[in-house]
Structure 1
């Protein structure tokens, strides 16, 4: 059945009907870019049997949404399209070809900072130097490593982001990479870095990938860092680059992760991109669109000839579309928000409280609770936290890596948190020598000796499905169905939330991979790549950072902290009024206000954390009178 393009506007149609060659689609907020991208992919697959499409995006949620839309349009994608995140793509490549770098296909992912810090602790001791010792601040070292990976650093004497590169930097970076390979483990930064390095060192592998995907699409290109762009260039055909990129330079808010306005300019120069603009906004009331245009025009680092947003919704009859208010004390700011939600009788799940920092949101969530409203503080979680969930997940991980002492340690810790029964790692490891070095079998034997009731039933199931034979899907589906419920008897809401999250992720993974392709290693890798952030309850007001809200929309937005040195931040203002940092803060504000479907409420306090603050300069730029 032909794909219906009748409801598209002229520019959307041009983008969807684009055949071959490089194209940049500059798509403003609320312009229907996801629909355009999925229709473009579906149309290529439907009308051109010689085409294969790789579509890359930044979040698992966005990738799942694209897959669902394309499958709905076509019935089934088949194997001619792969829609995934950059990190998922890199994982697939390294699983197939990582042996060139010394990696085995069953490599695991290090997702927790504590595990990465443990690696750094050991390396820092080995690299200790009286003249240039490795700093003790491990959190800063992790941030440095992440930045180096994002910049495509390869361990040379000069690091791109450092004015001076101490000798310990390349030593630590190289040692960290070597330790990851030795342990057959990767973190998020090294996933992309190792994949780029593989394709550079083994051009034959890159050639195979380019032949496999005739067309490459990228969503949210403005969020790419150098490592991602370097990887992209290696998988796009050089002579006939069929590269379709969707981006908005007014929504670049990840400079801290290596995103840059200059990268869009580099892209246009590297590929001679044709440009189609999608300025039409179908999400926001016209009053919000006008506000956004007034704000963002103050930025200088924008695409040439960038068109202003054009409202496509009728003007609202409600004169309260945009509201602004100031209070004296910070403690009163969200009390005013809570009171407003209650007085207007808004559905809590239609409302979001946005702020520049998590610190502000923590106090906001507390104030909402005190007012009798349910609040959900949205924060990315890289792993599950409830003991029973950690027991089952680490048992699966130990099944995949039967001799991994770190996984055994995490399993023992989770088991004690669940049952109160301590199991010593060294004792289990010693007893494993009697069963062929199998840590999992030894752990199940040791745990069974003292377990009773639901814990005993769980161990029996683990033994039957992971020790005596391997059927990981059976244990996972049993646990997601009935196996977790004995631990929910006391109304453990957090457990219910985590089980719902795992169930959603399980469904997405099993839909994406056929039974023959879904090995335990693939399942764990895809699960580790995904955020474990739990969904808000049906009656909860969401509290999110501006960064976390990107790509989402809400009926009623409350943007708090509209004060100088808050939004824009103190650190940005220190760089100067026309700095790239202040421009990014302005883009943060732009992103926040363009989440709105019905109403926007801007608030500020006159003091934050004891310090007097002036109204945000962005209020005046938007034409709002500051009190």
Structure 2
């Protein structure tokens, strides 16, 4: 039942800040929302989705399209909308990453790509590195090409290449690369930038497809917009510029850390000018308490001198220093003391291991090798979320639809009564099966069938202790119950068998690893989920996440070789690292690794950030 816009109230929260109300109610034009760290961007977008769907401002059967930069952000937004809306309303909300959106468009309209660019159905997605490009350069007789500039050209030059106004030599070389990817391997090899260009080409030469896209979506949300590349934005323009569809771009220029990957300059200005958008800034910080917000503001002001001070909405719940720089002379002492400090905090009950994050700038595998044994000596496990299991990183696997659908069933079978896992599994299966929330008979049947399956799987797990062979059987039984074909049909990411297999094999590898040394399946699933483990991740993978305590490993001029007093993307990275924390944020400095930043000490000292002798922290 629809409600009048003036009578609509926020769903699941008490209220919104005044500026959030303004951005939510603005439906006559597109909106550019600047939302700083902890401002609740996901909640705001979920509330706006609920507002548009529940008031009829996005009328049936039109849908809302949300495009996020990262997979976990897209998933979190989708889950939040499911919490704020009825199942029927939530089904009209489509949340993708840019890559997933373009891939499902190509898979759906592949036959509309003109020759010679139409790929076969069994194309393979690849992620070329410098050496792959250099192999092509050598084969083409031009070994001295800069691979970064060439990669940017692939991403930004539209199709067909012969029609583009670029230098003849560049045109011939780019065309040769496309021909190389299409004709020199057992399968056609496509990168996501190439898929982006193919989808743009489809829409440009098939206006009826573009018009159908515009009619399908009454509203479009663009999350983490500061990281949008020029190629991605050009596709958005092709899709929606001049249409009646209203766009809402949300993000924070101070958190732009993807310039190296092609994030465009002046992104919010360009969006505002292109779509005649209204600009609104949100001020609340719902994540961090006042002392953390003051420190964050000092860094933010170095990035943007005109930034407004955020309003801290969280309460401080810990004693002692909440932001500090830990000083060490030697690397061995650094890793030993950090491990001891975490052990002390966990033993005191102040924080759980999984809520103490180790953030690094790069080279997670190297840090794991160094820091992991020190934590192990204290009875703790360091979980490198950057580590690949098969062809997928652990952090990416945990946000895959396959994992999110099967894991609650495994948890139920292993632990018996688990209301949270039961609710989660039923919600996901309802969506997968397309069941109406009002179809009591179908929902009852789903509950009975799920109950029978969980009891059968529990019986098998009770009789078969954790091991590699039984891990495969457990996973396959869960997959058989849910149905591989259902998953493939429901999620665009799995339309191609190779994409499904990549995720399935990663799931199986990680599940098998977690059985080692475990006698109980519930302990296996705890390890799989990361409970009781200290997460290690790069800053770029931490965006959108939050932790009780953040320890940044490596504040020195070698690790941060390009950090300077003039701002820039490295300063943005420092800001992002600091804003992941709810209660505490510490920076570890080791003289053996590099020198300290005197200007940073002078900047932070007035807001209470002091150096602490690392030997005294534990």
TM-score (norm 2): 0.70
Aligned to 2:352: 347
Q: 1:103 aligns with which of 101, 108, 118?
A: 118
The 3 A distance-change label for structure 1 pair 9 and 194 is same
Deviation at 1:529, TM superposition (A): 8.5
Aligned to 2:375: 368
Query: Per-residue displacement from partner, 1:557-596 (whole Å, max 9, x unpaired)?
Result: 1112111232xx22x25xx753xxx511111111111111
Query: Per-residue displacement from partner, 1:342-368 (whole Å, max 9, x unpaired)?
Result: 222342112111111225632223432
The 3 A distance-change label for structure 1 pair 164 and 255 is farther
The 3 A distance-change label for structure 1 pair 155 and 537 is same
Written as runs of structure 1 = structure 2, the 5 A alignment for 1:238-257 is: 238-257=242-261
Aligned to 1:464: none
Query: Per-residue displacement from partner, 1:179-215 (whole Å, max 9, x unpaired)?
Result: 4999344222222222123223433332221222221
Written as runs of structure 1 = structure 2, the 5 A alignment for 1:475-514 is: 491=467
CA–CA distance in structure 2, aligned partners of residues 501 and 264 of structure 1: 46
Deviation at 1:68, TM superposition (A): 2.2
Answer whether contact 1:103 1:184 (CA < 8 A) is retained. Answer: no
Q: Does 1:621 align with 2:603?
A: yes
Q: 1:57 aligns with which of 68, 77, 102?
A: 68
Answer whether contact 1:200 1:234 (CA < 8 A) is retained. Answer: yes
CA–CA distance in structure 2, aligned partners of residues 205 and 254 of structure 1: 31
Written as runs of structure 1 = structure 2, the 5 A alignment for 1:489-568 is: 491=467, 521=495, 525=499, 537-566=530-559
Q: Does 1:93 align with 2:105?
A: yes
Deviation at 1:328, TM superposition (A): 0.5
Q: 2:210 aligns with which of 203, 206, 209?
A: 206
CA–CA distance in structure 2, aligned partners of residues 377 and 218 of structure 1: 29
Q: 1:42 aligns with which of 41, 45, 50?
A: 50
CA–CA distance in structure 2, aligned partners of residues 257 and 263 of structure 1: 14
CA–CA distance in structure 1, aligned partners of residues 38 and 530 of structure 2: 25
Written as runs of structure 1 = structure 2, the 5 A alignment for 1:404-415 is: none
Aligned to 2:402: none
Deviation at 1:278, TM superposition (A): 1.2
SS in 2 for 1:193: helix
Answer whether contact 2:556 2:590 (CA < 8 A) is retained. Answer: yes
Answer whether contact 2:161 2:171 (CA < 8 A) is retained. Answer: no
The 3 A distance-change label for structure 1 pair 594 and 254 is same
CA–CA distance in structure 1, aligned partners of residues 169 and 63 of structure 2: 43
Aligned to 1:474: none
Query: Per-residue displacement from partner, 1:100-132 (whole Å, max 9, x unpaired)?
Result: 325367344324659x977985x556x443xx3
TM-score (norm 1): 0.70
CA–CA distance in structure 2, aligned partners of residues 319 and 292 of structure 1: 18
The 3 A distance-change label for structure 1 pair 191 and 99 is same
The 3 A distance-change label for structure 1 pair 257 and 507 is farther
Deviation at 1:523, TM superposition (A): 6.3
Aligned to 1:588: 573
SS in 1 for 2:87: coil
Aligned to 2:314: 313
Aligned to 2:410: none
Q: 1:69 aligns with which of 70, 77, 80?
A: 80
Query: Per-residue displacement from partner, 1:517-563 (whole Å, max 9, x unpaired)?
Result: 88973565467599959655311001111111111000111112111
Deviation at 1:170, TM superposition (A): 2.8
Answer whether contact 2:300 2:307 (CA < 8 A) is retained. Answer: no
CA–CA distance in structure 2, aligned partners of residues 165 and 600 of structure 1: 51
CA–CA distance in structure 2, aligned partners of residues 267 and 383 of structure 1: 39
Q: Does 1:356 align with 2:361?
A: yes
CA–CA distance in structure 1, aligned partners of residues 222 and 274 of structure 2: 16
Query: Per-residue displacement from partner, 1:221-260 (whole Å, max 9, x unpaired)?
Result: 1111111101111111405451111111111011111113
SS in 2 for 1:597: strand
Q: Does 1:10 align with 2:11?
A: no
Answer whether contact 1:151 1:258 (CA < 8 A) is retained. Answer: no
CA–CA distance in structure 1, aligned partners of residues 583 and 361 of structure 2: 21
CA–CA distance in structure 2, aligned partners of residues 552 and 618 of structure 1: 25
The 3 A distance-change label for structure 1 pair 45 and 265 is same
CA–CA distance in structure 2, aligned partners of residues 509 and 59 of structure 1: 25
Q: Which runs of 5+ in 2 are unaligned?
A: 394-452, 511-527, 613-618
CA–CA distance in structure 1, aligned partners of residues 466 and 127 of structure 2: 29
The 3 A distance-change label for structure 1 pair 103 and 551 is same
Q: Does 1:191 align with 2:195?
A: yes
Aligned to 2:513: none
SS in 1 for 2:554: coil
Aligned residues, how many?
A: 506
CA–CA distance in structure 2, aligned partners of residues 384 and 556 of structure 1: 30
Q: Does 1:337 align with 2:338?
A: yes
Deviation at 1:12, TM superposition (A): 2.0
Provide the aligned C-alpha RMSD in A: 4.4
